[in-house]
Structure 1
């Protein structure tokens, strides 16, 4: 295979690093996007130049530039394995219509953190997604642990009782969401297969590269209506909000808890810095970007939940975390428990950002109602049954294998 040289781009990066003005030119953005297309799509850049590019972008600070990130996220999503969702399917359209509530339109929702904050907290994003699924269509993008004890997929496997939940073929995601559950867990390596070509290099480099930034933004599913993204330090908040804005996101929020250098979740022990995308007014031109509103959230004042030391919210092993999640879903963990409250405030935020309700405390109460009725538990049980069927059925027909098809689905909560 012919190799593509990115030497001209590397020279541009040197010039940028040596410049006093540090202007990110349009030529530089285009050149970076072309280089990553050559790496991820064509696989035509040699190892030495790949290493030089990732190193130069990290040490120049360009891997935290919103325009650069946005240009590469587009490449990543274009290169990703597609999730075939038929939005015109009558049953799927009906399901979305039944989920609509206030300003939530029944679209996909995700919550994810960048990781790397060093706090090794409980799998709160994944648990929050599970708690919110009675009200929202969840497409949770996740991966194995990189810097923590238990990554989202590690805990999901433990909760499901096996890795089959990670191996659902993309063509089964649509039927599962239509007929069985409001949940879909999208295991990153299944959809971003091109990242395999840089996995060894990233490990050999031994420092954070732009790929650490891209993962939380690269959910491969189409039709994402809202998302919450946690960042590991406050300096990244505005950057990620601007990336979501450039991506065309109209409902989203970037959060960073005020703990140490930063916590990539809504904090259970004090204030959280927030950058929320406010949708363009009705009647605006189609390409009008959302605006960004900066504010703070506090567990007591905004959610009506007590403060808890972060030490009480630490992660254990995937198996131990899964045991606790199962108890949470079964409404066996009382409100007031540190991890329970930690999950409550993050799941409630999903309801507010998605538009289900406008008030943070009201959102907490809605999550509590669903827990009391064990709706999220039933959604999870139907999801795992459908995943097992999808990975074992030779015909690809999961409807006949799973007990709890469309007629047995939960009615959306009123």
Structure 2
């Protein structure tokens, strides 16, 4: 089936087979399809509504095309979200990364610059004097040294260059907004993934249950956050060994966290958010800032398997901050990433 037939099928709102979905996206990322037809494909998929089988096929194609750093992933976690929740909060999952790593959990975080907020994960890391744009060999060196790293999405997904012009023309969400957190180039099998709505959180869980996932929390909070929230219950889809284990609502009060308003969690530009993260790791943050980071770090530690219960994971997160281990990890990441850049020059 050629690409024109694919578009005709989408125009008639017919679902694609797995092989059709794979071949269509493969043609796009190999540059065989122009911007106009790629845009039509994204719009056709959005209009028809993507099936889990189609989305799973798309993820497999993008994972196969990624540049994969050669790092051990056993027990390693990624904490990331789809973005697009328009909440205006500071970079919560990025802050939690340091707490999780400070607790002795390997962290292979995947992210990008800001798309829908003032500060993306890469932006705030640079404001913390961390080099966020490392390439494959540099990532391997840094992870070997400190057991944590940040992988800048465009450096590991060069195939996206054939998709971005169409996404920019389209100007609305496409299935790539859902796929981003599922494309960790190192191939981590343990994740905390936040989604911009409940439906997408469910889709992410269904997709990852079709792939090689050991343990995943896919979440969306009632207040709109693509994180575990302190201001409203959070919908949680939990995957264990490729199976959807539970689907439930989680209330942070069950872990003895006090409720806060979303206004208490508001961020700003990358420097403003970097100062919040420093204050959390230095132990002098506002309670709302500290607790939202602790909450999300708790699930990051638990998903790694290093803690048998959420209560134990919370204790480990608190110890990571209070002992100075999380702050030390930030300093070590800054030193390691800047040192490797000097060596490369």
Class of the TM-score when normalised by the shorter of the 2 chains: over 0.9
Which of 338, 341, 344 in structure 2 is aligned with 1:388?
338
Aligned to 1:275: 237
Which of 191, 206, 217 in structure 2 is aligned with 1:242?
206
CA distance in 1, matches of 2:330, 2:75: 19
143-152 or 231-240, which deviates more: 231-240
TM-score (normalised: structure 2): 0.95
CA distance in 2, matches of 1:341, 1:293: 25
Alpha-carbon distance, 1:5 to partner: 4.8
Name which one, 1 or 2, has greater alpha-carbon Rg: 1
Root-mean-square deviation (CA, aligned residues, Å) is 1.8
Is residue 293 of structure 1 aligned with residue 246 of structure 2? yes
Corresponding residue pairs, total: 344
Contact 2:213 2:240 survives alignment (8 Å): no
Is residue 313 of structure 1 aligned with residue 265 of structure 2? yes
CA distance in 2, matches of 1:354, 1:84: 19
Aligned to 1:61: 49
Q: Secondary structure at the match of 1:108?
A: coil
Alpha-carbon distance, 1:332 to partner: 2.2
Is residue 39 of structure 1 aligned with residue 10 of structure 2? no
Instruction: Identify if the C-alpha distance between structure 1 residues 377 and 332 changes in structure 2 by more than 3 Å, giving closer, same or farther.
Output: same
Aligned to 1:49: 37
Aligned to 1:15: 12
Aligned to 2:217: 253
Aligned to 2:313: 363
Alpha-carbon distance, 1:242 to partner: 0.8
- CA offset digits 1:238-272 (Å, max 9, x no partner): 2111111011212011111011xx32111111211
Aligned to 2:150: 185
CA distance in 2, matches of 1:342, 1:394: 37
Is residue 304 of structure 1 aligned with residue 304 of structure 2? no
Q: What pairs with 1:221-236 in structure 2 (closer than 5 Å)?
A: 221-222=186-187, 224-236=188-200
Which of 311, 316, 331 in structure 1 is aligned with 2:283?
331
Which of 95, 110, 126 in structure 1 is aligned with 2:94?
126
Alpha-carbon distance, 1:29 to partner: 2.6
CA distance in 1, matches of 2:84, 2:275: 24
Q: Secondary structure at the match of 1:59?
A: helix
Contact 1:267 1:299 survives alignment (8 Å): yes
Is residue 109 of structure 1 aligned with residue 77 of structure 2? yes
CA distance in 1, matches of 2:83, 2:344: 37
Contact 2:76 2:304 survives alignment (8 Å): no
Contact 1:225 1:249 survives alignment (8 Å): yes
Aligned to 1:168: 134
Contact 2:197 2:226 survives alignment (8 Å): yes
CA distance in 1, matches of 2:180, 2:19: 21
CA distance in 2, matches of 1:108, 1:369: 19
CA distance in 2, matches of 1:117, 1:291: 24
Which of 152, 163, 180 in structure 1 is aligned with 2:121?
152
CA distance in 1, matches of 2:53, 2:245: 16
CA distance in 2, matches of 1:393, 1:116: 37
CA distance in 2, matches of 1:218, 1:115: 14
CA distance in 1, matches of 2:165, 2:10: 23
CA distance in 2, matches of 1:188, 1:12: 31
